[in-house]
Chains A and B, each alone.
Chain A
Amino acid sequence: MEDLKKENDLLEDILARFDVEGQVQRERRIWVKASEENLTSICKFLKEMGFEHLSAISVTDWLEEEELELTYHLWSYDERVLLTIKTRISRENPVIPSVSPIWDRSAQVHEREMHEMFGVKFEGNNDMAPLFLEDWNGPPPFRKDFDWREYVKKEYYSKDNEREAVYYE
């Protein structure tokens, strides 16, 4: 039997303060769905509650819904719980307030990567220089509608090249 009292108490505490949805997935795992508007306030609250470690920021591209889903994975060294906040923003105009005032440099670097790979703009984060891709002018490469196979064929391969012609058959 798993004892989920700690997790349920934490979640209730959050639900009482904010207008969000949440669930306890298993021991030490809580998932919370927040809207873009109360993201900053909920993050501030969680940081004060002891979620000091921002483990990762990720983006999932939901092509059919035309939305980008941001996930913030937070770990609390005291409570020993991983809490994930999920927020959806529009795919056309992906702008969201930065959490770097809250988690400082660690958030700043994670946001920089997500900006490069998914084209999300983080308002308030002033260093968005590319990390991995050099001289890249194409669309954000980790989005679902970017097909790298097609891109490579178009940009770098040639039908006339004997070895590469096979890719056009």
Chain B
Amino acid sequence: MNDKVVVESISKNEYELFFGPAHPGSGNFSVKLKVDGEKIISARADPGYLHRGFEKLMEYRLPIQNAVLSDRLCVLEALNWNLAHAEAVDELMGTEIPERARYIRVIMAELSRIQSHIIWFGAFSIGTGFDTGFKMAFGYRDYILDLFEMITGGRVYPTGYICPGGVRRDLPDGSKEKILRVLDKVDKMVKLEVMENPAMVARTEGIGILKLSDAIRLGATGPVLRASGMKTDVRKDDPYEVYDRFDFEVPVRNEGDAYARYMIGIEEIKQSISIIKQTLNNIPDGDFIAKKFEKPKLNIKIPEGEVYVRNEISRGEAGIYMVSDGGGKPYRVKIRGPSFLHMISVLEFLLEGTQIADVPAIYWSLNICPADLDR
């Protein structure tokens, strides 16, 4: 005990450092670091810069409005959140979704996952000072945004494209060929395999190691958990839409470091490409929205009940808990974003005891999004 007191009193290098919220490499989020020289003694997450109170806002709105609102949950993967919200309403209302709509939903969710993983790679690269990777990632992402524009009308926000009952519009003519061409381009980007860059490997290998027991204890999900050695994926374990009809692998690694987390992302892009190809080959003809929802109606009531919907989005497990008291608006919506635990409990744990220079590598390896943390 005495030793500790002495050390603290002579240490003159201890200070507090803010990583974010105005840091170019942090997003709208900050971590308070207590630092001794270069070493981080403790980290404290400081969220709230993007808090918009979505859960409360949704209580004031009809599902048709909430579908548009749900885009904004996360800028980087708006369609996945669209899907989670639509599923919650569908399950409460017991709507039969037409087969074609289910396939279109899967295509859009997987395209969204690919572009989100590409942004992850871009942000990871710029965070660790690798500008080429950043520019390449955002260049290739634009091809997917072009597809979104063609199909939904919006490049980043689809404004409720995946809505209760199905999807807003059918795939336009020639979509299949265009999607396949974009997938070829993405495939090319993945093959260029920028992670083989020795500087990137040196920056990420062995950094921020998360053991499996810690990952479960801290509530990690998705790629972060899979990089620590747990083979789990909501699409396989708790299938929604038509995911149980497709053949795909769940990539797992055991190292649990920043490099492993990113390599999981690369593998997932390949799997998503395979899922989209299978979907395009098997997509049936038919309606793209249930008859009841074909024309937007304002007087639709949600039957009394409650559901908890889980989706695998690119960052991990997304959950929507929706309660209805029989009115037109949901009585309570709870949104569980994967970044909520990744950015608070996991990040604080991983940063402790590391060096300042490793903060961006650890931070971005978690594939985080302050928007779904703050909601």
Contact = CB atoms under 8 A, between A and B. Distances in A.
B219 A73 contact: no
Nearest to B325: A62
B296 interface: no
Given A75-B310, A77-B232, A105-B217, 10 more contacts: A55-B308, A73-B319, A105-B349, A106-B217, A106-B218, A106-B345, A109-B340, A132-B48, A141-B53, A142-B56
Contacts of A56: 319, 321, 334, 336
Contacts of B237: 77, 80
10 contacts: A25-B307, A71-B321, A75-B238, A77-B232, A82-B308, A105-B219, A106-B217, A106-B219, A132-B51, A134-B48
A148 B219 contact: no
B236 to A, nearest CB: 9
Given A109-B344, A132-B374, A141-B56, A53 B51 contact: no
A31 B217 CA distance: 23
Interface residues of B, number: 33
Contacts of B40: none
Given A104-B218, A106-B219, A132-B374, A60 B323 contact: yes
Nearest to B52: A132
Contacts of A52: 216
Contact of A54 (B56, B219, B230, B238): B219
A25 B341 CA distance: 27
B342 to A, nearest CB: 11
B219 A109 contact: yes
A53 B331 contact: no
SS of B interface (majority): mixed
A84 interface: yes
SS of A interface (majority): mixed
Nearest to B234: A75
A28 B216 contact: no
Given A29-B308, A109-B340, A53 B319 contact: no
B328 interface: no
A54 B216 CA distance: 9
Q: Interface extent on A, as a size class? A: 35 or more
A108 interface: yes
Of B221, B306, B349, most buried by chain A (CB within 10 Å of CB) is: B306
B332 interface: yes
A148 B341 contact: no
B56 A148 contact: yes
A74 to B, nearest CB: 10
B89 to A, nearest CB: 16
Contacts of A55: 308, 310, 317, 319, 336
B55 interface: yes
Given A73-B321, A106-B341, A80 B238 contact: yes
Interface string A109-142: 1100100010000000000001111100000011
B167 to A, nearest CB: 23
A57 to B, nearest CB: 9
